[in-house]
């Protein structure tokens, strides 16, 4: 069978593509890059190349997504609609869309985008199967690795929401199940696949610390908004659809033994991410300098046009003079410092903007 896979170089795609090929299928990977083995040019964000990529394809497996929240609507929703429409026009027999458990129950922006994408598939007219999968071991491992540790030595703490119920699955296990499931044909329904064990995020964090040899204790930090509340209520798990595969402890132990880094770059440590952050910081500094200069110019203009310090009891004095209460007037405003540090980084990882408590 001729199969087209989007997201074929991602975390689950890197396991699914060889799994499908091992079952005798001809697999094409939709990509915008050159040098991808089995790659065929196409872009779901614009629709370019999709008609050509669909030629002779019987099965489409749509895995592509993005971590960039600015592109969730355009790529996850719009891209899915464009791909499904192209598959229908090409007469594709089976369109498989991989979603996430809880997208219909947890009020999180990314989940809402995935739910809208599911609707695009159902309404497209192409024969489909939607498979909702629980979080991957790779994501949980990467999230814990990205969290900041507070303190040193025996006083070190790993702060995170500890009461969320999580049921992760290894991406390799999910890919093997998915490769087999795609051969059964479209169900026209939503199916579910989850990991082998349900535990709290705090328990998984303790396992991760033990398997990675980190010296820290887990500390509960109630952050995360709707996502945290949803997982605490068990809306992101499915005990009835547990797959008896690799446990989280086994996964982390294997990754550490092989010396592999976490699969997801949630800290932005890759060169391109570092360069983007550096540019953003430089632009922010330039904007702050411009704003400060504009404010100073306005104050200077107001002082030069207003009453003089000599004839004013409580007026504004020019820079370098002294006001009537004896304080020096510098013409400078206090600098506002953006919140930073472990708490802000944790809020960012959990998808909630920083808001300083009063």
Res 129: pLDDT:
98
Q: How many of the other CB atoms lie within 10 Å of CB of 249?
A: 15
Mean pLDDT for 203-224 is: 92
The H-or-E segment that residue 130 falls in is strand 128-133
Whether 143 and 349 have beta carbons less than 8 Å apart is answered as yes
Same domain for 352 and 324: no
Phi, psi of 77 (to 5 degrees): -90, -60
Same domain for 105 and 20: yes
Q: What is the DSSP letter of 76?
A: I
Say whether pLDDT at 315 is over 50: no
Look at 153-157, 204-208, 273-277 and tell me which has the smallest mean pLDDT: 273-277
Query: Token pair of 215, please?
Result: 């010296």
Residue numbers of the domain that contains 10: 2-268+345-356
Mean pLDDT for 60-74 is: 90
- How many Å apart are CA 343 and CA 53, to the nearest integer? 45
Q: What's the pTM value of the predicted model, to 2 decimals?
A: 0.75
Same domain for 288 and 262: no
Mean pLDDT for 161-177 is: 97
Res 322: pLDDT:
41
Query: Token pair of 323, please?
Result: 């006001």
Residues 6+ apart with CB under 8 A from 76: 65, 66, 110, 113, 114, 116, 117
Res 249: pLDDT:
98
Res 335: pLDDT:
44
Whether 344 and 356 have beta carbons less than 8 Å apart is answered as no
Query: Token pair of 57, please?
Result: 């394809």
Work out the pLDDT band at 354, boundaries 50, 70, 90. Answer: very low
Say whether pLDDT at 202 is over 90: yes
Whether 274 and 282 have beta carbons less than 8 Å apart is answered as no
Say whether pLDDT at 318 is over 60: no
Look at 86-90, 263-267, 278-282, 310-314 and tell me which has the smallest mean pLDDT: 310-314
Same domain for 58 and 198: yes
Say whether pLDDT at 290 is over 90: no
Same domain for 323 and 213: no
Same domain for 113 and 41: yes
Work out the pLDDT band at 154, boundaries 50, 70, 90. Answer: confident
Res 97: pLDDT:
98
Mean pLDDT for 325-334 is: 42
- How many Å apart are CA 4 and CA 87, to the nearest integer? 10
Domain count, the chain: 2
**In the chain, % of residues over pLDDT 90:** 65
Work out the pLDDT band at 296, boundaries 50, 70, 90. Answer: confident
The H-or-E segment that residue 239 falls in is none
Whether 57 and 6 have beta carbons less than 8 Å apart is answered as no
Same domain for 350 and 261: yes
Res 258: pLDDT:
96
Q: What is the chain's length?
A: 358
Say whether pLDDT at 341 is over 70: no
250 or 269: which leads in pLDDT: 250
Same domain for 221 and 291: no
| Domain containing residue 72: CATH number | 3.40.50.720
Residues 6+ apart with CB under 8 A from 132: 99, 100, 101, 102, 103, 190, 191, 192, 193, 238
Say whether pLDDT at 106 is over 90: yes
Say whether pLDDT at 326 is over 80: no
Separation in Å, CA 265 to CA 79, 213, 272 = 23, 21, 11
Same domain for 322 and 251: no
Same domain for 290 and 239: no
Same domain for 20 and 68: yes
Same domain for 159 and 58: yes
């Amino acid at each position: 069978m001729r199969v087209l896979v989007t997201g074929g170089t991602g975390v689950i795609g890197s396991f699914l593509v060889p799994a499908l090929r091992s079952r005798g299928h001809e697999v094409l990977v939709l990509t915008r890059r050159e040098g991808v083995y089995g790659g065929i040019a196409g872009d779901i964000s614009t629709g370019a190349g999709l008609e050509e990529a669909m030629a002779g394809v019987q099965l489409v497996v749509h895995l592509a997504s993005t971590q960039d929240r600015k592109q969730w609507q355009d790529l996850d929703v719009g891209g899915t609609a464009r791909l499904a429409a192209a598959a229908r026009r090409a007469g594709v027999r089976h369109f498989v869309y991989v979603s996430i458990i809880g997208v219909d129950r947890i009020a999180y922006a990314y989940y809402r985008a995935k739910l809208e994408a599911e609707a695009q598939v159902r309404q497209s007219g192409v024969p489909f199967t939607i498979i909702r999968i629980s979080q991957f071991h790779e994501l949980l491992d990467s999230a814990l690795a990205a969290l900041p540790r507070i303190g040193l030595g025996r006083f070190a703490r790993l702060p995170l929401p500890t009461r969320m119920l999580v049921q992760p699955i290894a991406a390799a296990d999910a890919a093997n199940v998915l490769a087999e499931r795609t051969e059964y044909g479209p169900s026209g329904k939503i199916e579910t696949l989850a990991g082998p064990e349900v535990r709290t995020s705090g328990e998984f964090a303790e396992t991760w610390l033990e398997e990675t040899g980190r010296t820290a204790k887990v500390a509960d930090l109630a952050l995360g908004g709707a996502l945290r509340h949803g997982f605490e209520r068990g809306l992101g798990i499915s005990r009835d659809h547990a797959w008896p595969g690799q446990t989280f402890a086994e996964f982390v132990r294997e990754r550490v033994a092989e010396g592999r880094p976490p699969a997801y770059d949630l800290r932005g440590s890759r060169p391109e991410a570092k360069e983007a952050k550096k540019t953003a910081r430089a632009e922010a500094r330039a904007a702050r300098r411009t704003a400060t200069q504009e404010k100073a110019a306005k104050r200077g203009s107001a002082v030069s046009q207003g009453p003089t310090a000599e004839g004013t009891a409580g007026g504004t004095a020019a820079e370098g003079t002294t006001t009537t209460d004896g304080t020096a007037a510098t013409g400078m405003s206090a600098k506002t410092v953006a919140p930073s540090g472990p708490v802000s980084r944790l809020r960012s990882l959990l998808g909630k903007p920083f808001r300083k408590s009063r």
